[in-house]
Amino acid sequence: MTGEALAFWLREPGTGEIRPAPLADPGPDEVLVRTLRSGVSRGTETLVFRGGVPASQYAAMRAPFQEGDFPGPVKYGYLNVGVVEQGPADLRGRTVFCLYPHQSAYVVPAAAVVVVPEDVPPGRAVLAGTVETAVNALWDAAPLVGDRVTVVGAGMVGCCVARLLARFPGVRVTLVDIDVARADVAAALGVDFALPVDAADGRDLVVHTSATSAGLQNSLDLLAPEGTVLELSWYGDAEVRLSLGGAFHSGRLGIRASQVGQVSAARRGRRTTADRLALALDLLRDPAFDALITGASRFDELPDVMAKLADGSLPALCHTIAYGAG
């Protein structure tokens, strides 16, 4: 055995704790990674923390290196950046991203880590999994030059989608949220901001990420005829109510789901999940993404931090967790 690490576990809905985690010696095709930073994917992880994963989705919602089962005890998470301490020579000493839970060190197959570009700091690199979701969404949505696009919901995923869309030629992007404080984040991302009541309609594409019925209804109401809502929200066990008696049929509107579990069908024959993650890390060379990092805490504070994120007393986009010198 290499030694022992520490890991964050959800003991039961609403209660987290730090537990010891034994580390096996890495094999010839494995790496030992010492964590620098991890990120809390606020929407999904707080839903897991509250016990909101429906039983029918237990298998679909498993993270790549999850231990335990929903609703708990479970070790869950997937935004981890660390340094390779043992492993193949070309990886030793490199900073890498891995879809691993919140843990101070871990052993995984070498193929499970992706090297972080040298000009991407670890605190920003934790966003790789979220930017990967945004990349997949835009492969699904296939926006065109000059499209009028609105993103409803200024959380982590919505903000990442908005920043990538802002780089499309001729595309004017509006980020919509009920929190007027997100206007500053929108400005940092180079996009417009509007409250739901002020959002312009006639949109060619609306990307919805708010995980609320009101947000989805607003998204449909903003579409031009023949327009599409790309649905990225994960509702868990929450009921969704939607009125389809207005322009939904006469306007031939569409709602399309997008989910990062598989590479978009538009690229599945030519891109792997590793290609997609490497692209996300390359896109994170853009310092505008720093606007999404809204707080940091020590690893030993994570049980309390997760509870505060879940009950809303700690507002955040991406809250990062620091480990030792990380």
> pLDDT per residue over 236-246, tens digit each?
778 899 999 88
Looking at the structure, do residues 229 and 293 belong to the same domain, yes or no?
no
Residue 179 placed within a domain: yes
Task: Say if CB 37 and CB 122 are below 8 A apart.
Answer: yes
In this structure, are 112 and 207 located in the same domain?
no
Least reliable range by pLDDT among 13-22, 82-91, 199-208, 234-243: 234-243
Least-confidence region, from 2-6, 14-18, 46-50 = 2-6
Tell me the two tokens of residue 99. 């879809």
Q: Is the pLDDT of residue 326 over 80?
A: no
Q: Walk across the sheet containing 3-12 and list its strands.
A: 15-23, 3-12, 74-75, 67-68
Within a domain: 140: yes
Q: Taking the CA atoms of the chain, what radius of gyration do you get in angstroms? A: 20
Quick check: 101 and 125 in contact, CB under 8 A?
no
pLDDT (mean) for 22-40 = 96
Q: What is the pLDDT of residues 226-285, one digit of tens each?
A: 999 999 998 877 889 999 988 899 999 999 999 888 899 999 999 999 999 999 999 999
User: Given a cut of 60, is residue 1 above it in pLDDT?
Assistant: no
Residue 317 has pLDDT above 80, yes or no: yes
Q: Give yes or no: residues 248 and 150 share one domain.
A: yes
Distances (CA, A) of 72 to 16, 40, 108: 10, 18, 23
Are 21 and 120 in the same domain? yes
| 75, part of any domain | yes
Is 41 part of any domain? yes
Residue pair 301/280 in contact by the 8 Å Cβ criterion: no
Residue 129 backbone class (left: φ over 0; alpha: ψ -120 to 50; beta: rest): alpha
Q: What residue has token string 């909101």? A: 52
Alpha carbons 108 and 323: distance in angstroms, whole number: 18
- Provide φ and ψ at 177, rounded to 5°: -155, 155
Predicted confidence at residue 2, as pLDDT, reads 63
Helices (H), the chain: 42-49, 122-125, 128-141, 156-165, 182-189, 213-221, 247-250, 273-283, 302-311
Kindly report the backbone phi and psi dihedral angles of residue 176, in degrees, each rounded to the nearest multiple of 5, phi listed first: -115, 130
End of a domain among 239, 257, 275? 257
Residue 104 and residue 60 in one domain:
yes
**Does 164 lie in the same domain as 121?**
no
Please report whether residue 266 resides in a domain.
Answer: no
Longest CA–CA span in the chain (Å) reads: 65
Say yes or no: 15 and 115 in one domain. Answer: yes
* 8 and 119 both lie in a single domain: yes
For 283-293, write each residue's pLDDT tens digit: 999 999 999 99
**pLDDT attached to residue 247:** 86
> For the purposes of burial, counting CB atoms within 10 Å of the CB of 256, is it exposed (0-12), middle (13-18) or buried (19 or more)?
exposed
Which residues lie below 8 Å from residue 287, measured CB to CB, with a gap of 6+?
A: 124
Work out how many domains the chain is built from and give that number: 2
- The CATH number assigned to the domain holding 247 equals 3.40.50.720
Instruction: List phi, psi (to 5°) of 83.
Output: -115, 135
- Domain assignment present for 193: yes
Residue 303 within a domain:
yes
279 within a domain of the structure (yes/no)? no
Mean pLDDT of 308-324: 93
Tell me whether residue 225 is exposed, middle or buried, using C-beta atoms within 10 angstroms of its C-beta: 0 to 12, 13 to 18, 19 or more: exposed
pLDDT tens-digit map of 60-94: 889 999 999 999 999 999 999 999 999 999 999 99
Mark whether 149 and 122 lie in a shared domain. Answer: no
Query: What integer is the mean pLDDT of 192-204?
Result: 97
pLDDT at 43: 83
- Residue 325 confidence class, pLDDT cut points 50, 70, 90: low
User: β-strands 148-152, 203-208: how paired?
Assistant: parallel
Residues 122, 214 within the same domain: no
* Domain carrying residue 117: 3-127+284-322
> Quick one: 135 and 252 in the same domain?
yes
Q: Which of 286, 283, 277 is nearest to 132 (CA)?
A: 277
Average pLDDT over residues 145-168: 96
Domain boundary (220, 238, 257) is at 257
The answer to whether residues 137 and 248 belong to one domain is yes
CATH number of 89's domain: 3.90.180.10
Checking if the pLDDT of 35 tops 60, the result is yes
